[in-house]
Structure 1
Amino acid sequence: MTIDLATLLTQTHPYDGLPPEDQAQLAGELSEQRFDKDQVIYQIGRQQQSLYLILEGRVDITDAAGELVSILGPRNSFGERGLMKDGIAATTATAAEPCTLVLIPTATFHRIVSDHPSVKRFFDRTRPATSRRHDLTTMALAEVMTPTPLTCPPETSLIEAARLMRDHAVSCLIITRNNVPDGILTTRDLTNKALAEGLPYDTPVTRVMTADPVTLPPTALVADVLHAMIERGITHMPVVDGGKLVGILTQTDLTRIQATSSDALIRDITQAVNRAELAQIVGRIPQLLVQLVGADNPHQVVTRLITDIGDATTRRLLAMAEDRFGPPPVPYLWLACGSQGRQEQTGVSDQDNCLILDDTATVEDDRYFAALAKFVSDGLDEAGYFYCPGDMMATNPKWRQPLRVWRQYFNGWITTPDPEAQMLASVMYDLRPIGGQHSLFAGLQEDTLAKSARNSIFVAHMVSNSLKHTPPLGLLRGFATVRSGEHKNTIDLKHNGVVPVVDLGRIYALRGQLTQANTRARLAAAMEAGIISTAGGRDLIDAYDMIADTRLAHQAEQIKRSEAPDNFMAPATLSDFERSHLRDAFVVIKTMQSAAGSRSGPLS
């Protein structure tokens, strides 16, 4: 492959930000090398001579355990971790297919990193290819601490301090001067040092507080807190960054966090006695999301665990409804569609559901199921799964019908694919049984997929409908952000990031008659079935992973700031590295959309 290296640098981040004279000097120091398929480029633990930039082909990066941690394509750089540390490769790089690489010598790499802060920031942001953490003790305090703890000045009296702690329902106060902690006052101090000694109520807190308390930085681990608490017999740990108070972690917090797991929530849900108790339990999901994201769990794990909680909540409400209204008169099946149907719920989810009734159901029977649907949907709304704005719920008689009517619905959508039919089919193809008689769905799903795949006109309409959501790509390698309103200068990570991939996954499922509802599972199955090429599928999965992970990280940060999570993220909050790779992910999606719109053979 012949290409002018100077031109390549002007098109590739972070080198495109270098001054022209530095680009020209760098271009003169580069060389090209060809690698065959399966050839090792460098090996973990060995001396590494260069930074690499992929000109064409693909490269797999694996860790010490042989686990695949990255799949790289053209315009990606790799190998910086070893060079920035001690020149010893931190991973193994292998040519996944014949490839041409541009080699940047070690000395050259160190020079441009040293001379250009933007380049250094780009490579500093590269995350280590280590195994995912799943243990609370290995999480950083920044991920679990309570921000902005309650404080008071040194001259505060004991009675004022006690009232502050009572009114805010906390067990300690941090005594500060200009947000620098001088001491800590706990309820135990008030009991043992003030009340037991009969000190006057107007005594300053400085007489009783523990001066110069033990503190830790936000980068410390939860394990460090546990060790300090055990060793020193303390129960509260102020978190200090640059001498300033930024948070606190207490024994009570640790107990609460350990109790906030998907297993614990589901156990509590199964034992809930009413809807109010269910809502209280489900209200712990935001903290769970923060913990799961903070522990570096991939998005497909986080959303699956959160969806499991939604499923358990729905089934508990169904059981409560049957206890209240009696056993169902005929078999039924409650199904979820939307994000719950795909097992992709996040911190922002409404409810999309429906009921399939046995064909023997009568008008009288429907009165029972109308009451059941209202009870369950009302309970979901109380728990934070808000009513669907489009009324796509079992409370709507249209979506509470016998099986024969559902067959008519799908047949009608397939034979007459008008815009409304396309929209409804898009939603309903994500159906997943939650509670009831699952056999009511099996035959319907198989028949519908077969009829859909045979109707090329319907599939073409569905493809056209799926391309309405486009990635937020602007000119000059920028993002097309929202131009006005409360979300001005942000990108919608849901409708312009996740949804385009969801739509593609649904199209692949239709073409291949794939029964999976989960988007990532659909992409993998489509690759295996030859609906999309291996290269295109791997690129799309990587792009989807990056966008979905970014969306969850954004929501977790909002929750930590006590804000309601949403899907609107300002690109300015990202590093150059993150912006560059997020844009690359959007480019992949745009490419796959173009391929889907002009299909001929496996999509690449």
Structure 2
Amino acid sequence: MPHTPIDQLLARTHPYDALSDEDRVALAKVAGVQEVEAGHLIYRLGAPVTALCLIERGQVNITDEHAEVLSILGPGNSFGERGLMRDGIAPVNAITTEASRIITIPADVFHSLIKNNPTARRFFDRTRPAATKQQDITTMAVADLMTPAPLTCRPDTPLIEAAGQMRDRHVSCIIATEAEDGPVRGILTTGDITARAVAEGLDNHVPVGDIMTPDPLTLPPSALVADVLHTMVERGITHMPVVEAGRLAGILTQTDLTRFQATSSAALIRDIVTAPDADAIAKVTAKIPELLVQLVGAQNPHQVVTRLITDIGDAATRRLLTLAEAELGPPPCPYLWLACGSQGRQEQTGVSDQDNCLILSDEMAEGDDAYFEALARFVSDGLDKAGYFFCPGDMMATNQKWRQPLRVWRDYFQGWIDRPDPEAQMLASVMFDLRAIGGAADLFDGLQARVLEAAAGNSIFVAHMVANSLKHQPPLGLFRGFAMARSGEHKNTIDMKHAGVVPIVDLGRIYALTGKLTIANTRARIEAGMEAGVVSGSGGRDLLDAYDLIAEMRLEDQAAQIKRGEKPDNFMAPASLSDFERSHLRDAFVVVKTMQSAAQSGRGYLS
């Protein structure tokens, strides 16, 4: 079989070297050749991409819309696959910097190549599907396990009538609503009938509303079954209504879960709920590194791993609040403990500090702060003992600045929005990730909605937020390398938190702000931003792929550190990766840089 120069080039270039001789010769026959001078624009950002390009000789720069160089490619490098694998549109520019010879592979041939050759598919596709494994119920979405269309009645329905419906449907609960698609007002279980009606000798015609559990805890269909397990264990409940957009979508009960074994994360939470003091809580949270290794080893997606680990931090916080009130007495006025940072976003890993604050009721009287100062110290000290070390920036409820009445918090946010100086931008960035953990949740609901409305409506504030988000840059070096620490303790490593994950977190926050989205989780923000139209489908999918790869590599490196008996951190040595992994990690960083450029220009994606 004769070998042409193109065939010989393909035979010594990955991933084309994985093709059979017959397929490689066939590919060489349909490949084109471009001889171009320096300065030739192979494709322009937003233009159609019709072929995969392979550099035989010369150099090509990949640049963003601001002409900033994202990557320098040389002989043996391929490019153009991102446009071909998405919507056929170039997300960047490709321009030669010297006379070059480019081999072009038509789009249809490229798609056939990645469809029929696993090696080529893995090389060009940045996504990394999870290994085949037995599905763990705790990582399933509630929607996949809940009972849809649960039994309902009005709160004024006589008990005997509701009980008859439960008997006829063979169910253990009935949901009280004012209308079929109205909000959940309460839940009546067989346990409620026994303990609150039969045991007290109430009349059979007493309204359901008199003995039901009002305003029960609910979760959305997108929540994990682990969220239900954790809440049931922590709160001692057996039934969980599932609500979406204010409407009842289903019910998930303990009976639905009895055939499955609870995960170790649920077991840890069970131990935390009964812990008598901070020392006992610390003994439980000391098992988190082992849990992280197990979860990563089971190929769970990063968003599942971090959610389960964050649930443990939430449970520890609420238990410490309960222990604090037991020691200090009941609070003098309503309060709400909130988490920000990674806990607020439900993205905690094996390395987490504490970022928290207290919103106090405007009803608080002079002198009440002494109680909340003591409560904050009790909880923060307990969290530190449990491995959630004190915030280096002192952004904790122990700092009086972050322990204020609701009216002061309103002034804080309004001031940051009206006067967006660098400090205001930093504080606003942290506080937009707030999530209620324990206390009177209604103290935050109205505040969050008003702040998002005001912030999104202030174009100067949004512009400053975007500029602030660009302070964290992906670690891209030239010539397809990484920008690494060159000295010090972490020499020749990449900071996978501040240079890897944080730039994506910042982008997700911008999408949430411009779309007025109350979601705090980064991945959920990107998905919701796509649905709201603040980031395009192509850009969002690319960013999700990049985020998944970066976040999972970070967790895998932490798990490897733990298995070596080391304390996990966020610094990863690229030298520990294979050439394949390094190539894909760098491609992911290029995506992040591209999306940062898009945000800077006010567009969701370069198209």
Shorter chain as denominator, the TM-score bin is 0.5 to 0.7
* Contact 2:539 2:604 (8 Å CA) reproduced: no
Report the count of equivalent residues.
Answer: 413
* 1:226-247 per-position Cα deviation (integer Å, ceiling 9, x unaligned): xxxxxxxxxxxxxxxxxxxxxx
Are residue 557 (structure 1) and residue 565 (structure 2) matched? no
* Contact 2:595 2:604 (8 Å CA) reproduced: no
Are residue 494 (structure 1) and residue 489 (structure 2) matched? no
SS at match of 1:563: coil
**Structure-2 residue corresponding to 1:546:** 549
* 1:478-521 per-position Cα deviation (integer Å, ceiling 9, x unaligned): 11111111111111111011000000001111111000000000
Distance in 1 (alpha carbons) for counterparts of 2:559 and 2:113: 39
Distance in 1 (alpha carbons) for counterparts of 2:82 and 2:504: 25
SS at match of 2:336: strand
Are residue 296 (structure 1) and residue 304 (structure 2) matched? no
* Contact 1:54 1:100 (8 Å CA) reproduced: no
Are residue 389 (structure 1) and residue 410 (structure 2) matched? no
**Structure-2 residue corresponding to 1:322:** 325
**Structure-1 residue corresponding to 2:443:** 440
Distance in 1 (alpha carbons) for counterparts of 2:315 and 2:345: 15
Displacement, 1:544?
0.3
* 1:85-134 per-position Cα deviation (integer Å, ceiling 9, x unaligned): xxxxxxxxxxxxx954437879x989xx9xxxxx99979x9977654445
Q: Structure 1 residues 17, 501: closer, same or farther in 2, change over 3 A?
A: farther
**Structure-2 residue corresponding to 1:284:** 287
Distance in 1 (alpha carbons) for counterparts of 2:498 and 2:82: 31
* Contact 1:13 1:580 (8 Å CA) reproduced: no
Distance in 2 (alpha carbons) for counterparts of 1:410 and 1:541: 30
Q: Structure 1 residues 469, 16: closer, same or farther in 2, change over 3 A?
A: farther
Displacement, 1:364?
1.0
Q: Structure 1 residues 127, 495: closer, same or farther in 2, change over 3 A?
A: closer
Matches within 5 A, 1:118-517: 130-134=131-135, 261-517=264-520
- Structure 1 segments of 4+ aligned residues over 2 angstroms from their partners: 12-18, 24-32, 52-60, 71-75, 98-106, 119-123, 125-136, 600-604
**Structure-2 residue corresponding to 1:14:** 14
SS at match of 1:102: helix
Distance in 2 (alpha carbons) for counterparts of 1:121 and 1:524: 24
Matches within 5 A, 1:111-122: none
Distance in 1 (alpha carbons) for counterparts of 2:606 and 2:513: 14
Q: Structure 1 residues 484, 329: closer, same or farther in 2, change over 3 A?
A: same
Aligned residue identity for 1:28: A
* Contact 1:531 1:602 (8 Å CA) reproduced: no
Identical pairs, percent: 67
* 1:265-293 per-position Cα deviation (integer Å, ceiling 9, x unaligned): 00000000011000000100000000000
Distance in 1 (alpha carbons) for counterparts of 2:121 and 2:604: 43
SS at match of 2:436: strand
* Higher alpha-carbon deviation: 360-369 or 545-554: 360-369
Q: Structure 1 residues 440, 424: closer, same or farther in 2, change over 3 A?
A: same
**Structure-1 residue corresponding to 2:253:** none
Distance in 2 (alpha carbons) for counterparts of 1:439 and 1:129: 39
Aligned residue identity for 1:102: F
Stretches of structure 2 that go unaligned for 5 or more consecutive residues are 19-23, 33-77, 92-105, 138-260
* Contact 2:130 2:301 (8 Å CA) reproduced: no
Q: Structure 1 residues 30, 316: closer, same or farther in 2, change over 3 A?
A: farther
**Structure with larger RCO (C-alpha < 8 A, sep 6+):** 2
**Structure-2 residue corresponding to 1:225:** none
Matches within 5 A, 1:503-542: 503-542=506-545
* 1:123-182 per-position Cα deviation (integer Å, ceiling 9, x unaligned): 9x997765444569xxxxxxxxxxxxxxxxxxxxxxxxxxxxxxxxxxxxxxxxxxxxxx
Distance in 2 (alpha carbons) for counterparts of 1:376 and 1:73: 52
Are residue 577 (structure 1) and residue 585 (structure 2) matched? no
SS at match of 1:564: coil
Displacement, 1:575?
1.0
Matches within 5 A, 1:21-100: 28-31=28-31, 55=81, 57-59=83-85, 100=108
Displacement, 1:299?
0.3
Distance in 1 (alpha carbons) for counterparts of 2:134 and 2:79: 29
Are residue 597 (structure 1) and residue 605 (structure 2) matched? no
* 1:547-580 per-position Cα deviation (integer Å, ceiling 9, x unaligned): 0000000000000011000111111111111111
* Contact 2:558 2:568 (8 Å CA) reproduced: yes
Distance in 1 (alpha carbons) for counterparts of 2:403 and 2:127: 50
Displacement, 1:361?
1.0
**Structure-2 residue corresponding to 1:102:** 110
* Contact 2:595 2:605 (8 Å CA) reproduced: no
Distance in 2 (alpha carbons) for counterparts of 1:346 and 1:56: 30
Distance in 2 (alpha carbons) for counterparts of 1:276 and 1:13: 58
Distance in 1 (alpha carbons) for counterparts of 2:566 and 2:262: 22
Distance in 2 (alpha carbons) for counterparts of 1:447 and 1:391: 26
Distance in 2 (alpha carbons) for counterparts of 1:590 and 1:417: 24
Q: Structure 1 residues 456, 359: closer, same or farther in 2, change over 3 A?
A: same
Distance in 1 (alpha carbons) for counterparts of 2:605 and 2:582: 30
Q: Structure 1 residues 270, 121: closer, same or farther in 2, change over 3 A?
A: closer
SS at match of 1:277: helix
* Contact 2:539 2:605 (8 Å CA) reproduced: no
SS at match of 2:401: helix
Distance in 1 (alpha carbons) for counterparts of 2:335 and 2:344: 17
* Contact 2:362 2:406 (8 Å CA) reproduced: yes
* Contact 1:58 1:73 (8 Å CA) reproduced: yes
* Contact 2:268 2:284 (8 Å CA) reproduced: yes
Distance in 1 (alpha carbons) for counterparts of 2:522 and 2:462: 18
**Structure-1 residue corresponding to 2:189:** none
CA RMSD of aligned residues (A): 3.6
Aligned residue identity for 1:14: H
